Structure 1
Amino acid sequence: MNENISPHSSSSSFVPIEEHHIQDAIQVINEAKEFNPNLLDYITKSTPSASNDKKYHVISVFGSQSTGKSTLLNRLFNTNFDVMDETRRQQTTKGIWMAYAPTVSNTKHLKSQNENIFVMDVEGTDGRERGEDQDFERKAALFALSTSEILIINVWETQIGLYQGANMGLLKTVFEVNLTLFGKAKLNKSNNHKVLLLFVIRDHIGVTPKENLASTVTQDLINMWDNLNKPNELSHMKFEDFFDISFHTLGHKVLQPENFANDVQLLGDRVINKDNAEYLFKPQYHHEIPIDGWTLYAENCWDQIDNNKDLDLPTQQILVAKFKCDEILSNVYEEFLLKFNEQHLIKIPKLNEKLTDDIDYEDLGLSFIDLKNDVLENFDVSASRYNQSIYEQKRITLIGKLNDKFKEIFEAYAQYLLGNTIKLFTNVLNSGKRNLPGKNFQDGVVSLSNKYTQEYSKALKFLSLGGELDTTGYEDKLNKQVEELISKQQLIELNNTINKSVKKVNNGLVKAITFELGDLKDDTWDTILNKFNQLTKEVLSKYESSTDEYDFGLGTSDKLNNLAIESFKFKSWVNFYDSIHKYILKDGLINILQDRFDDKFRYDDNGLPKLYENSTELESSFEKAKKFSLQILPILTRAKLSNGKDIKPEYDIFNKHLKQKYTTINETEQVQASYTDSEDEDEEISSDSFSIIVNEEEKQLVLNKFKREVDAKFVETKRSIIQHVTQIPYYIYLIILVLGWNEFMAILRNPLFFTLLILLGGAVYVMYLLNLLKPAMAVGQRMLDEALDIAKQKLKEFVIDDPAQHGHNLNKISNKKSPTEEIELDDLNN
């Protein structure tokens, strides 16, 4: 036989069940009233097909000790329950055992059956081993009655008519409690569930007919039921509403072995043969739940039965055990307090205290456990001699007191450890994303938080007395603070990411604006807007995880990510507006117009300086240049597309609510407005103002100033033309050539002068080929004019009719210094 399945029902250990020897039994409830959690595993391995349907039956046997209950079950259901040694009359079955019936003995010797049958063998009643303690046998009988379809009551023929011998007293108590616990379900008219009480009368020799015996038992049960203390709402219930009664007799096992075997087979026919007129299993007996549900039902029933205080009356021995265990508990606890205060209480660290040595939490936790185990060992030595249940109760009480005391020091260490962990986590978190493990911020903080929370949980586990002290609260507190720190850092990183993205868009936009301002066209603003949209789209594509969903790799929520995207777009439009007004100012606008005017007025299409021959040519060029310059004025004063529509941002960037909402990303969906009602009354800038770069008033000022500037240039250029027209006549140069012929010839004959002449002539020829003669002449003329102007000014200063000025000029000519200058020189020398 497998060692894992004890064949001895006297064993109280719960053992697992192997796949073979499935006819062996499993202990459902042991002597300590503990329900076996492995019951479902046993049933599943015994009959796998039964775990998912209702094709099963449960039969229990109940009766006095040593009346052959286990023998009957083994002969009828081919089970392997432990039976009594016939030479010694003592208790064999302890607790409640269950076994699967592989076959049922019958007259036709059939080896198979359509339905699975489970048999429960209940500890016998009125045994000398338990003595006066009838609590378990009452609870066991009630459990069997509440969970079985058929309750076999095993009695001797000689016990019929007796009260205690036939277990009538115990049945009465069980019926009362069963009615209290489960009777209310009968108020539902649709509930027709019953239990069959099958009285198996042993050693029936035939003198008294079975019918007479059945009549006696039936009358006793009905009388007993009528005298029950029923609840008011169940007082009308009859015995027949809860139970059916059936009887079967067996011959004497020793004196009539053949009759006994045949009677057992006849009983088997009633169990498996549905065509038998006395077939036992009826639909109303079944609980109508799958077998795995039955195990849960049975466990719940036992829990209700076992915790019913009416069935657990303390005796004087229990009262003595309570008193002595309390006394022992008090003594060992006082000894514990002395050691606890000496070894641990004085070493508790304070919050924010810097310890010179690191705490070894594993060693500290082991010292806690050692101290606790020493106390429990001292208690066990003295208290285990008394009532087992009271001893166990008081031991649990002592454990609770010890845990409460250790909890005080545990909380101090946990709080100290929490502060240090948060400090370390904050330092690493604030050091920047580069110092975090993982590919991105989200992976980094998850890895970092897991590291510190696991270290914290590990240290707490060492101090938790092997898990008896609850660490969940502190772990939750750490997780909450870590989440708050991560949330704050997420917002910081998210704002930094948005600001960097906005800066990137702004840099690209500034380049586009400055480039377009150098070559203004009708579609300039179309180009700038397209560039802006392209830049924003490129940034958004980096963080786009799916359609209309974005992920910054920070672990932030979709709601916060969407708010960040809105903030990015809003700030980008604000920067768009600021960049326009930064590079297109009122004064800068005049410079742009003047540069454009100069490009057209002073230079030709090839970029060469223009030389005007007459006033007509000058005036025509002036009008064209001015018109050319003023063509861009509408482009520079209003951001308007080529289709005539103004550029309008996606957001009202002048709205104070939106500014406050999108300036800095917060966890709240909207930021409450902080300005007062008086601020609300201030003049709001219209969203249409985005496209207005220079208003009409400023535009008119720019236009007037531009006209003044270009008019001055026109006058200056026209003056130079007039000076050129009033120059020396050409025939004078002919006269000079004739009169100075000898001098020219002298130059030609002189090698030095001739070389200079060749160089000068070559330079003139090169300028002619390059079409630079006119510009060179204009430059020379300009230099000559400037030299003449300076000479005239100096001559005017010299001959001016002002004695003081005249004296000053004479002093400058003679290099004499004024008294003031001499004093200043003296001061410098000193």
Structure 2
Amino acid sequence: MGMSDDYCSTQLIDGDGTFNVSGVDNFVKAVKLGECGLSYAVVSIMGPQSSGKSTLLNHLFGTNFREMDAFRGRSQTTKGIWLAKCAGIEPCTLVMDLEGTDGRERGEDDTAFEKQSALFALAVSDVVLINMWCHDIGREQAANKPLLKTVFQVMMRLFSPRRTTLLFVIRDKTKTPLENLEPVLREDIQKIWDTVPKPQAHKDTPLSEFFNVEVTALSSFEEKEDLFKEQVATLRQRFFHSIAPGGLAGDRRGVVPASGFSFSAQQIWEVIKENKDLDLPAHKVMVATVRCEEIANEKFVLLAENEDWRHLEEAVQSAPVSGFGKKLSSIFHTCLSEYDAEAVFFDEGVRNAKRQILEAKILQLIQPAYQSMLAHLRSRTLDDFKEAFDKALTSGKQFALAAYDCSKHSMSVFEEGCTDATIEQANWDPSKVRDKVRRDIDAHIAAVRASKLSELNSLYEGKLNKALSEPVEALLDAASDNTWPAIRNLLQRETESAVSGLSKDISGFDIDQKITDEMLASIEKYARSLVEAKAKEEAGRVLIRMKDRFSTLFSHDSDSMPRIWTGAEDIRAITKTARSASLKLLSVMAAVRLDDDSDNIANTLSLALVDTTSTSATNKSITSFDPLASSTWEEVPSTKTLITPVQCKTLWRQFKAETEYSVSQAIAAQEANKRNNNWLPPPWAILALVVLGFNEFMTLLRNPLYLGIIFVGFLLAKALWVQLDISGEFRNGALPGILSIGTKFLPTVMNLLRKLAEEGQKPTDVGPQRNPPTDQRAENGVPIYSDSASSSSSTITSSINEIENSSTLQQRRVEKN
């Protein structure tokens, strides 16, 4: 390939018919043909060998094709087809120098290459120069006739929409004016056209439908070189702006864009080599298809490797990107603009089809990033909504109003984000993501609403639990005729309060009336179930409650003071009263009475359990029906039954068995108290003592000293009695009393003797000594002693009294402790 600052040339097809692909590609890049679009023209020249074709091109277009050396003789100079760029002509003009016809090197029989090259020139060129000698005009055996026949014949194989300009260049013009030569030449051309076999479709088609025939004449280069150059310069001017309407290459239909010239020429030559009919419109579409696809692929790769796109794609994976839509639209627009700029001159249908494919590929490439952007918007919108919604609720805003305002604001922000993420070239609808965001927000509102309602429900259930549990338990423990009416009043009052409060609190949640009614009904049901559960719980402890009530009434008087069984109490009446109260408790706990329904449970239990003793006593032989031999109460549903009749009978039997001991203990205590309070022996014993002890009594009267000894012994016995608490010890029984007294007797006696010893060692007051008169008199034979005996007796008495008092105080301290 030859190159200079003004021109560039390469061999397009060699003499063997091989297309120089790499050479043409380098040529196209060197002359920057791809930048020309449709603003270029192709001129080719054909004619007999050694007719001066290369010389004409070199002078006409400033090329440097190899010329024949006249001094070496005539021979083949140009082999194959050569391609060069004209120097100094606008628009860009390419010139093809074809191998001459009728060359002796190929021989007469090798005309295939001539036809192939002629067809190639007609298919590729806008202007075909036909170089011919002036003296051949009007001759039957002229050298140019075979060439013209070849041109017209191959034209029948070329389905081209445009008219090719045939510029006949008459060389070595004689003195005959061109005005006379041109009609003859045109007549010869028409004759040749008429004689060429044509397809049926073009049998009557005139030559002007296929060709635009132009004729020019040049003087001899060798004889009139200066005139030749002037005429060539004039002809050169016709190639300036040749593609303009009316120019030599003015018919631009079917022109392949410059960027596809290399590929188009290669494909045309391959079709010609295969001896196929060349359909230029189809070829144009094919070239456009290949080139547009190449351009589209190239632009797609450039976009995929674009740094801005890569940074944007990476950034959107982790967080939303501000201005995402504008940035990506700009990258998208740049890619399509570059494609349009390079493919603008190719077939419109193909160009648009490939553009759509390119758009689809780009959209497929960027769609994951767009979806990531929407996903971030969705997530951020939901998070922002949750935060705003929580703040609104915390500030005390009404639930429904807070939900409406926050959701409206969040959806507005999401719409702004979608608008910011919108890609101009993509007709993507974010409605599905918008619906998901709406569903997410609605789901969160529903979840928070459910949570808040659950909290309210739990709150009021807790209030009901606190307001009902302990009062109901206390009322059931009291167990009177007013127990269940009081429970009903309490339940109604607290339920109405809870329903009123709950209804007021849920009014701001904007929920259906049906749900409101269900919640209020649920709280009412809960209150009722709470009372029923508490009643069932207390019914499970009814036996304990009955025994506690019996113990309270039986062991305490009307002033709630512990009862002392002195013997004056009517234990039978007290027992009956206590058992009746316990039975009342059982009747109250037997069934739930929240609906103010009357029943006969109390009377049934009373008749069956309390009055059965007297009845059985008077009618032992009569077998009557047992009203408690059933698992249900009359007029009481099984769902409201807490204790069945059979269970009541069993509980009563167990209750009586466990309270019998208390009654027995009370009776025993009363009997013991009676015995302890009766110290006198029976009358017969008193009479026996008087009769049998008369002699001893008289002895005591005769000897008063015995009375002092007996008195002292009495005092000692009394002190021991008090000190040992003999009466108290024997209240627990004879044997326990004897054992207890036996263990305490010796320490008590020793203590008593120690006290006496201490009293004896105390100093006495010393007065004036005088000898009392000894007056021993005997009255009735009994000696009478004076003050000494009485003083000693009084001393002993005082000591014993002191010991007794100290023992009494000690005993009281023990009792207090």
The normalised TM-score by structure 1 is 0.39
The normalised TM-score by structure 2 is: 0.40
Q: Which has the larger radius of gyration?
A: 2
